[in-house]
Amino acid sequence: MTTPTPTGGLTGSGPVFSGTGWRAATISAVYAIDPNQQFTITFPSQALKDRYTPYLTAALAQLNTAGVKVAIGGIEAINYAVVPPQGHIQFNEVYRPMGTPGYSQGLPCWNTATNRVWGGFVLIDSEYWDGSWTISETKKKNVIPHELCHALGLDHCNSDMNNDGVIATFETVKDSAGVSPLMTSPNGGYQDSRAGTLTPYDLNGIKALVANHTAVGMTASQPAAVARPRNLAIGCTP
């Protein structure tokens, strides 16, 4: 599929890949979310499902309201050499999945015929839980849905706000209260009781990916092609 040209607005007739405080993961060839696709978050063990479900509940409610059908599922084995079953987003804990202390990873897989999100992988740094990396509960609440949104097709939203030619960490738009998007790199989002939820910036990005399903001529009747995952640091076949 040829990369379509974005029109630049949420209400345009063509696909939109970025806006204020959000950016689609076009680097991973992800252009849209199929609103008819049921996404299911699975885990390799009951213990991990029990650990992560409370951190995902509020964000899942927002995503469903925004048009993404996503729910907590059950237990399944993970094979990083192949893509997950269609619609599955596989959560796991891995020691330094990015090779850097304290960094986690979320990656989408996509349908190569339609560039819709197929499923994905989320790998949370195990150091958050064993005491070897200091992380606040607020930051932990934000990083888990942050990585889920990567698996659903959102990229980091940082931009050159001060026009110095450099896009720095934490450099992104903020609202009048100083809140940055959840998808800020390396982390952002609410720093109060709302931690763990998407900001309006992030929700606009999700809604745009859902709208892109129609804007780029994607239909539910199109046959699925082989989906290929974004390269995983731990060795997933691209």
According to the 3-state scheme, what is the secondary structure of 112-139? CCCCEEEEEEEEEECHHHHCCCCCCHHH
Residues 104 and 97 sit within 8 Å (Cβ to Cβ): yes
Res. 83: pLDDT tops 90: no
Residues with Cβ within 8 Å of residue 130, at least 6 apart in sequence:
none
> How does pLDDT run across 168-185, given as a tens digit for each residue?
999 999 999 999 999 999
Q: Is the dihedral of CA 57, 58, 61, 62 positive or negative?
A: negative
Percent of the chain with pLDDT over 90: 74
Q: Phi/psi class of residue 35: alpha, beta or left (left: φ > 0; alpha: ψ in -120 to 50)?
A: alpha
Residue 164: which pLDDT band, with cuts at 50, 70 and 90?
A: very high
Res. 53: pLDDT tops 90: yes
What is the pLDDT at residue 13?
58
Residue 223: which pLDDT band, with cuts at 50, 70 and 90?
A: very low
Average of pLDDT values for 208-232?
61
Residue 216: which pLDDT band, with cuts at 50, 70 and 90?
A: low
Residues 34 and 220 sit within 8 Å (Cβ to Cβ): yes
Residues 193 and 140 sit within 8 Å (Cβ to Cβ): no
